Amino acid sequence: MDGYMRTLKRLGNYVGISKISVQTGTSHGGMVLPDGSIAKVQLDLAALKALSHDARTKYGLGGAVQHGASTLPPEAFGKFPECEAVEIHLATNFQNLVFDHPKLPADLRAEMNAW
3-state secondary structure the chain: CHHHHHHHHHHCCCCCCCCEEECCCCCCCCCECCCCCECCCCCCHHHHHHHHHHHHHHHCCCCEEECCHHHCCHHHCCHHHHCCCCEECCHHHHHHHHHCCCCCCHHHHHHHHHC
What's the pLDDT tens digit per position in 31-69? Answer: 778 998 877 777 889 999 999 999 999 999 999 998 877
pLDDT tier at 90, thresholds 50, 70, 90: confident
Q: Please tell me whether the overall predicted TM-score, pTM, comes out greater than 0.75 for this model.
A: no
Please report which confidence band the pLDDT of residue 94 belongs to, taking 50, 70 and 90 as the band edges.
low
High-pLDDT (> 90) share of the chain, %: 40
pLDDT at 91 over 80: no
